[in-house]
Structure 1
């Protein structure tokens, strides 16, 4: 039965080969096998078996759903590749730049504990901000800072005179020894309020070793300086308007603080210190665009919109 089907089927294959547009090839009967006809139960005239290429049996012929899925995956990969080549980030301009302005910090010691130079060095190593050098002689003209009330008032005055956003006071005994505490208070210069207070205990050390005390204190000051950095990076920067000359508005921050040409700043109507929180600016009064710089840490700009600028106004970054 199989021989007569092969005899009928082979001439048909040769006919297809002749109509294949000039394609050449050799067809062998061994390239085909006889299988049950899937359509046999659907039509009474259909033969019970049919001949199919042997490779269909060996590798399997994908069904329609499998072919559709495979085709979809290929198209999806090609589309994804095309889209990635032309990808655009939505909501972020291509030239968008985030500007930050560094806080200006001043560190002072209460009494004469001799820890200030080493503490300042630790702060500089951590790049906590713009650290101003302020020696005891300069500090003496501001009077006492033995109480928190005096330190609060001094912080506000230093901001007005020098522009220090944060004022640090290091408090310790003149001859610090093991188990004694070193304290650091952080004040908000603009509002004059106490932001944080840190305390660390000097660990035990060999008093017979001249260098042991310095190492122990250096370790404590390094730890405290790290705490100060964490706070200083979280405190928003605000600057003062120093002068107004026609359209030019001068502020107390420039290149050293990280101000950039073209940077947009908001202008606020003064502000106040919120207890246990920090300085909060007043209502928005306009916008300032930086046009140039004055000295290492000063800048000027023009008002792009808003109300008339006052010397009591405050500027902040967008």
Structure 2
């Protein structure tokens, strides 16, 4: 057998013949990097928008697992197999085009969760916390429970009882049991007020001021750390709202444009629920399914349903999940 390469040189002999065959297969494998190589198929298929065709294996039986037929991209037969450098470039461009996002920073729900923020003490760090959260959450300031820098667990639960009746979303309670000086730790307790139960508690130390930085700026950097931790923690927490009022077939919800609700979406209404120890709050009885018709105000919406007569103010609503 005699083969002539692209450079004009002739290749002779059985050994060169096998080598040439292996080069052909290597080129086909390189082409498969930019597509999906399907083996052992009985007919032509379309994979990843590329036409694949079946050809005879260049060296059937020369390897224990070799097949008599293989599938290769049709384009590689019509246009030739791209060189290794070109294949690598295509692969790099695909990888560079992919936007890799930290899943922990992205809320699982398409809606923005409302977070109530309360603070013990008089430093008003909760305002800086809200600014650090940015657009990841809808932050609402809650009335402070006490001017003291720390509360006992019983005092905190008593305070939660006063806000849980109308609260829509979890509550973050910010306290400074060790003060706010460099080296002191700030504490944040995340509560699901439907329980109420603690979702998570975390601490962050106030750092020593960097050169040219004031103690207040160092304190605010610690608050920013708390905000980032809270956003990550709540990334898996499901959005929920409350029924504010019922009038005929119209149900007014305390979630709307700011939360990300849109006309046409459906929400599920449920009443009550129970705390499952070590897991969280389990929604109670399903009451109705509503369709959002319009938005009003900064964060309100109106939903309608023939089942509205069964709905009561204070019921919980969640975005209906697709089956």
TM bucket by the smaller chain?
Answer: 0.5 to 0.7
Please say if 1:176 is aligned against 2:186: no
**What secondary structure is seen at the aligned counterpart in 1 of 2:188?**
strand
Structure 1 gaps of 5+ residues are 1-71, 84-97
Alpha carbons of structure 1 residues 229 and 211: separation in structure 2 relative to 1, 3 Å = same
Alpha carbons of structure 1 residues 73 and 289: separation in structure 2 relative to 1, 3 Å = same
Task: Give the conservation status (yes or no) of the 8 Å contact 2:241–2:318.
Answer: yes
Task: Give the conservation status (yes or no) of the 8 Å contact 1:156–1:190.
Answer: no
Instruction: Indicate the residue corresponding to 2:154 in structure 1.
Output: 149
Structure showing greater radius of gyration is: 1
Q: Where do 1:191-210 residues align within 5 Å? A: 191-205=195-209
Structure 2 gaps of 5+ residues are 1-40, 53-107
Alpha carbons of structure 1 residues 281 and 73: separation in structure 2 relative to 1, 3 Å = closer
Q: Distance in 2 between matches of 1:110 and 1:227?
A: 19
Shift of 1:115: 2.8
Q: Where do 1:40-119 residues align within 5 Å? A: 76=45, 100-119=110-129
Instruction: Indicate the residue corresponding to 1:243 in structure 2.
Output: 245
- Relative to its length, the structure with more helix (as a share) is 1
Q: Which runs of 4+ in 1 moved over 4 A?
A: 72-83, 140-145, 304-307
Task: Give the conservation status (yes or no) of the 8 Å contact 2:242–2:253.
Answer: yes
Shift of 1:268: 1.5
**What secondary structure is seen at the aligned counterpart in 2 of 1:118?**
helix
Equivalenced residue count is 226
TM-score w.r.t. length of structure 1: 0.60
Deviates more, 1:285-294 or 1:150-159: 150-159
**What secondary structure is seen at the aligned counterpart in 2 of 1:310?**
coil
Q: Distance in 1 between matches of 2:203 and 2:109?
A: 33
Task: Give the conservation status (yes or no) of the 8 Å contact 1:165–1:237.
Answer: yes
Q: Distance in 2 between matches of 1:316 and 1:120?
A: 24
Alpha carbons of structure 1 residues 210 and 303: separation in structure 2 relative to 1, 3 Å = same
Corresponding residue to 2:140 among 132, 139, 152: 132
Shift of 1:143: 11
Task: Give the conservation status (yes or no) of the 8 Å contact 1:239–1:251.
Answer: yes
Q: CA RMSD in A?
A: 3.6
Shift of 1:213: 1.6
Corresponding residue to 1:227 among 223, 226, 229: 229
Instruction: Indicate the residue corresponding to 1:88 in structure 2.
Output: none
Alpha carbons of structure 1 residues 157 and 275: separation in structure 2 relative to 1, 3 Å = farther
TM-score w.r.t. length of structure 2: 0.59
Q: Distance in 2 between matches of 1:179 and 1:145?
A: 17
